[in-house]
Structure 1
Amino acid sequence: MAKATNSTHGELIAVGDESLVTLNLTTDMDPRFEQDFVAINGGSAALNWRIACLAPPLEVRHETHYAAARKRLQSTVYDDFARQYDVFNGCQTVLSLRDDHFVGMAILRGDADGVTTEADRRVFAHGARAALSALRIQRAIANQGAALVLGALESLNTRTILLDSHGFVAGLTDSAERWFSRGTALRLRHGHLSAKLPSENDMLQRVLRQALLAPADAPVSARLWIRSGIQPHEGVAVEVFTLPTLEWNLGFGSRVMVAVHAGEALNAERAPVLEAALRLSPAEAAVAILLAQGKSREMIAGERHASPQTVNTQIKNIFRKADVNREAELVSLINNLLR
């Protein structure tokens, strides 16, 4: 696209809620471009005049629209950024626009390239239509992949939710859907996962955002206890995992998996099952259930009136007997055994 329009760079970008940039592929660009774009909150319509003049899909916006948008904005942050990377000129269009995110394509031009001509914009518009077709195909493939994953998880009777790169719920297992319908510590609203209590929701959203933005070489794996009431024991254990993704998936593929372990299956009455299955002592079985409920080691020690050293020793014994190395593995095993 850049070559066909006599431009220095071509760009494919996806931006979600709260200016979250989930994809920014730019050809022949300084590697620092994407990092600096995120650092200045480049996905914000209050700062970036390119974002500020978004239009309906396939309508082309160019330098004339950029100039008008610059006059409306109070910030020059993006102006400085555009001059730094010599991308003040160009044109753009939206390929997909939804309430929670958009995917767009642009050509970025420097001073040497000059402003776009009508001929350049015609070529760009023609290419955008082809890009939109490719985008629809990619979304269909991603949806099919999510359905296959959920089908496999459903066979295990797990309460699992998949989120795409924009934080939008891409799918959930039937078990999760039935569980949500009963009213729980977690909610699904407008396609987003949230917690019932504001304080718990702040924590959940912070972890989900970390998982969404995690680089491929440092995925997030976190376990939370989401309270549903005043008492600490009222709630559910939630695991959040960053899933592997491809650079070119445009944000439609599953990016984060959330597994919910409902408390009704994780109470002290089920301890004998763990004792028999994993050959745990009664004390070890009790500790294992508290771990699966999302309690920290410090909370377990306080609840059992034991020293932290004692709890750590018991957990080491549990790991050895269960043949696992991580708490997440143990939680998964316990939920399968107590289901």
Structure 2
Amino acid sequence: MTTFDMNSEACDLPDEAERLLASFTQRLIEIAAVSGTRGSDTSPTSVLNAMRLPAIALDRHGIAVDTNSAAESVFDQNIKIKDRRLFVRDPDSRTLIKQAIDQLCGPPQPNVLVAEPVVVPRLDKLPIIVRIWPFEGPEHPPAQDVHVLLTLNALGSRPGPPEAILAKTFRLTPSEAKLACVIARGAPPYIAARELKISRETARNQLKSVFAKTDTHRQSELVALLLQVE
């Protein structure tokens, strides 16, 4: 087995797509915080779980105080909660995440993305993108102990829109439909190429064709369109 070397390729993630996803996640966290201020006993991770967003809540000491089922579904030997601490097998990713969490031990900065996303490589799997968020919820259980929220984006863990429907809707070739299905999950083209076992150049050419057939011009626009197909 080999470990995907993703840290050196993290910069390849499309900037616009990353900003879009970060903004969307930030809004979900705001919703989770507001939900708690209304007197609900629902934890912030439960609110995010209802939105199918894997999340881990940490206290100011880095102890995991809550984990939702969406996060538990992506845990494996590469990333999981062990002895109430986040365990990350890859040493480089582990260091980056620890540094980001330690940075949040000072005064809270609500709804601010304080660190770049950390790409956690996994053995024989697509990586997980971890985002570290400061959290300031209501001063009552269950959110009073939550100081940091970690959100996880496991590339490839969710099924994309059905290939056959994408092909029929947009008149895509079978290979273009397969690529579009992977792209719809939020994977950048180089990850799609790796998963489909095609060259990056082939992936780029197919993506250009998909753009033309869907009348889109950016990956964020394409993803937004494809996710409407069920």
Tell which structure's C-alpha radius of gyration is larger.
Answer: 1
> Are residues 1:194 and 2:84 paired?
no
The answer to whether the aligner puts 1:256 opposite 2:157 as a matched pair is no
Verify: 1:176 aligned to 2:77, yes or no. Answer: no
> Equivalent residue for 2:129?
238
Aligned residues: 180
1:252 match: secondary structure? coil
Note the 1:277-316 alignment, pairs <5 A: 281=172, 283=176, 286=179, 289=182, 292=185, 295=188, 304-306=199-201, 314=211, 316=217
Residue 21 of structure 2 is matched in structure 1 by none
1:228 corresponding residue in structure 2: 122
1:320 is aligned, of 209, 221, 224, to 221
Deviation at 1:158, TM superposition (A): 4.1
Classify the secondary structure of the residue corresponding to 1:265: coil
TM-score (norm 2): 0.51
- Residues 220 and 240, structure 1, Cα contact 8 Å, conserved in 2: no
Gaps of 5+ in 2: 1-35
SS in 2 for 1:263: coil
2:41 matches 1:150 = no
Q: How many angstroms does 1:189 deviate by?
A: 1.8
Q: Secondary structure at the match of 1:258?
A: strand
1:272 to partner: Cα distance: 1.0
CA distance 1:306–1:153, shift in 2 (3 Å): same
Would the alpha carbon gap of residues 198 and 217 (structure 1) be closer, same or farther in structure 2, given more than 3 Å must change? closer
Q: Gaps (5+ residues) in structure 1?
A: 1-140, 325-329
Write the distance in 1 (CA, Å) between the matches of 2:139 and 2:67: 23
**1:1-339 map, 5 Å:** 147-177=42-72, 179-180=74-75, 183-209=76-102, 215-216=109-110, 218-220=112-114, 222-229=116-123, 231=124, 234-245=125-136, 252-261=145-154, 263-266=156-159, 272=163, 275=166, 281=172, 283=176, 286=179, 289=182, 292=185, 295=188, 304-306=199-201, 314=211, 316-323=217-224
Superposition RMSD in Å: 4.9
Distance apart, 1:171 and its partner CA: 0.5
- Shift, 1:209, TM fit: 4.2
Q: Per-residue displacement from partner, 1:7-53 (whole Å, max 9, x unpaired)?
A: xxxxxxxxxxxxxxxxxxxxxxxxxxxxxxxxxxxxxxxxxxxxxxx
Flag the structure with more relative contact order, 1 or 2, with Cα contacts below 8 A and sequence separation at least 6: 2
Aligned to 1:106: none
Residues 62-94 of structure 1 show CA distances to partners (whole Å, capped at 9, x for unaligned) of xxxxxxxxxxxxxxxxxxxxxxxxxxxxxxxxx
More displaced 10-residue stretch of structure 1: 284-293 or 171-180? 284-293
Residue 184 to residue 219, structure 1, CA distance change in 2 (3 Å): same
Taking a change above 3 Å as real, the CA distance of residues 291 and 211 of structure 1, as seen in their structure-2 partners, is farther
SS in 1 for 2:166: helix
Q: Under a length normalisation based on structure 1, what TM-score does the superposition of the two structures give? A: 0.38
Helix, strand or coil for the counterpart of 1:306? helix
Identity among equivalent pairs (%): 10
Q: How far off its partner does 1:186 sit?
A: 0.5
